[in-house]
């Protein structure tokens, strides 16, 4: 096979995964069927079988596809930002931008999968748990580096701070998915800011948005109905 | 129809709803079918139709059944507790006991439904959103009463504190569902405690667990794999 064919194969695979991820955002991963994916991209089921042998293989590939999007949107961008507090702040920004920026078309894929596999043991649940742990490790590492560099106080409880920041992120995401308002985003930012301001040292670099925040879209804040 | 018949009908209805809720915890509400519910309780489909005319009617009844369990486990118990800080603390306790106490057999029903109806408009999504708002209103009211009674500082940002407490609750719940460890519960308690200790007045009553916490099951804390 020449390069052209391989490239075409890779493009087809991407198109399959894009379509399957779009379906999974609505229907979940369990609801994914070869028939529906084939129909969504105008391909025969046998054509689809040449890319994925089993439903589970397709499901796991869709999960990896979503993880790759998450990595490209949330994790990759922070690697160019200076370590310590700036990178921690950027991680919060890229995560919240991701949640509110419509990376997924029909709702949060990871929320859907987490709920779907709460009590379904197997390869997909294991992969999902590994993904949750991996992000938590990144968050804790970025915080720890902030302590090492003297930006955050040495007595910071790293797993606790990671838990709290991640809780605000999760709440902002679910609030957004449910109500479509920006209020949960504002509250998450306030929570993260107050938590970080409480643990900064005098050596922490000044960041726009943290020590002297601009109002984040206050003019367009939409209230949740409560 | 005599009382006995009515009572039997009510008992049957409860048995149907118990079984349907058990199925919905695993399969979600969309996956609920008359056939599966009928099979689960050893009833004919036509027998089931005499209780619920449509799938949506059954789904909404299952949702109300879950809300009733939540109310009995989380909200009812706090009404006997003195208003203000004691009631707020009790609400956090009853919520976290509920999340960790196995009210639901197969995972958190509300997590499953929230994920399932992220992007499915209709009566079930509307009912679900109303439930989220209702709990948020209760939490805000309990906090506000704590301010009125002089237990919490008058400058407390009520919606922000409610958001943060609820974020920790949600994170503890999802962490428990995913990993089955008590670490998220401990972290949620620490987060709630620190947040409340930061806004108490000298008039706040002393609560066991808040100002001088016993270690909550520290001997049996199980670490999450991160």
Count, in order, helices (H) and strands (E) of chain A. 9, 0
**More confidently predicted of B24 and A193:** A193
Query: Contact A214/A176 with Cβ under 8 angstroms?
Result: no
> Would you say the C-alpha torsion B96, A137, A173, A177 has a positive or negative sign?
negative
A160-185 per-position pLDDT tens digit: 999 999 999 999 999 988 888 999 99
Percent of chain B beyond pLDDT 70?
A: 89
Residue B120: what are its φ and ψ, rounded to 5°? -120, 95
**What Cα–Cα distance (Å) separates residue B215 from each residue in B169, B208, B221?**
18, 11, 10
User: pLDDT value at position B104?
Assistant: 65
B129-176 per-position pLDDT tens digit: 999 999 999 999 999 999 999 999 999 999 999 999 999 999 999 998
* Beta carbons of B119 and A26 less than 8 Å apart: yes
For residue A220, pLDDT over 60 is answered with: no
CA angle, residues A108, A110, A113, in degrees to nearest 5:
115
Highest mean pLDDT among A90-94, A114-118, B46-50: A90-94
Mean pLDDT across chain B: 89
* Beta carbons of B118 and A177 less than 8 Å apart: yes
Under the banding of pLDDT at 50, 70 and 90, the label for residue A195 is very high
User: pLDDT value at position A104?
Assistant: 64
* Beta carbons of B191 and A163 less than 8 Å apart: yes
Region B2-13 average pLDDT: 73
User: pLDDT value at position B103?
Assistant: 62
B186-209 per-position pLDDT tens digit: 999 999 999 999 999 999 999 988
* Beta carbons of B28 and A116 less than 8 Å apart: yes
> Would you say the C-alpha torsion A26, A27, A33, A39 has a positive or negative sign?
negative
The DSSP result for B122-163, as a single string, is: SHHHHHHHHHHHHHHHHHHHHHHHHHHTTSB-TT--HHHHHH
**Lowest model confidence (mean pLDDT) among A7-21, A173-187, A202-216:** A202-216
Region A44-52 average pLDDT: 91
* Chain A residues touching chain B at CB-CB below 8 Å: 25-26, 28, 106-108, 111-112, 114-116, 118-120, 128-129, 132-133, 136-137, 140, 157, 159-160, 163-164, 166-168, 170-171, 174, 177-179, 184, 187-188, 190-191, 224-226
For residue A38, pLDDT over 80 is answered with: yes
For residue B216, pLDDT over 60 is answered with: no
On whether the pTM is more than 0.80, the answer is yes
Taking the CA of residue B44 and the nearest CA in chain A, the distance in Å comes to 27
User: pLDDT value at position B114?
Assistant: 87
- Report d(CA A41, CA A51) in Å as an integer: 13
For residue B219, pLDDT over 60 is answered with: no
Residue of A nearest to B195 (CA): A195
Which element (helix H / strand E) includes A39? Answer: helix A34-41
**More confidently predicted of B155 and B98:** B155
CA atoms within 13 A of residue A107's CA, in its CB half-sphere: 25
Assigned token pair, A152: 């955050």
Quote the DSSP letter at residue A59.
Answer: H
User: pLDDT value at position A219?
Assistant: 47
**Lowest model confidence (mean pLDDT) among A94-103, A138-147, A160-169:** A94-103
The DSSP result for A82-117, as a single string, is: PTTHHHHHHHHHHHHHHHHTTSSSSS-HHHHHHHHT
User: pLDDT value at position A218?
Assistant: 45
A71-88 per-position pLDDT tens digit: 999 999 999 999 999 999
Taking the CA of residue B102 and the nearest CA in chain A, the distance in Å comes to 13
| Chain B residues in contact with A179 (beta carbon < 8 A) | 129
* Beta carbons of A190 and B160 less than 8 Å apart: yes
* Beta carbons of A171 and B163 less than 8 Å apart: yes
* Beta carbons of A187 and B160 less than 8 Å apart: yes
């Amino acid at each position: 096979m020449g390069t052209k064919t391989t490239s075409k194969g890779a493009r087809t695979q991407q198109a399959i995964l894009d379509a399957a991820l779009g379906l999974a955002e609505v229907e979940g991963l369990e609801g994914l069927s070869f028939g529906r994916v084939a129909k969504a991209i105008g391909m025969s089921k046998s054509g689809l079988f040449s890319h994925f042998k089993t439903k589970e293989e397709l499901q796991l590939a869709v999960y990896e596809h979503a993880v790759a999007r998450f990595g490209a949107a949330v994790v990759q961008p922070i690697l160019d930002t200076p370590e310590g507090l700036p990178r921690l702040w950027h991680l919060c920004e890229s995560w919240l931008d991701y949640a509110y920026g419509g990376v997924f078309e029909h709702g949060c894929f990871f929320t859907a999968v987490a709920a779907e596999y709460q009590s379904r043991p197997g390869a997909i649940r294991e992969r999902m748990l590994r993904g949750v742990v991996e992000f938590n490790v990144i968050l804790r590492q970025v915080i720890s580096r902030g302590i090492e560099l003297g930006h955050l106080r040495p007595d910071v409880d790293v797993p606790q701070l990671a838990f709290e920041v991640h809780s605000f992120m999760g709440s902002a995401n679910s609030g957004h998915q449910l109500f479509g308002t920006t209020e949960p985003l504002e509250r998450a930012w306030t929570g993260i800011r107050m938590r970080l301001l409480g643990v900064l040292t005098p050596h922490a670099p000044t960041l726009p948005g943290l020590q002297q925040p601009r109002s984040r879209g206050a003019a367009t804040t939409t209230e949740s109905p409560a």
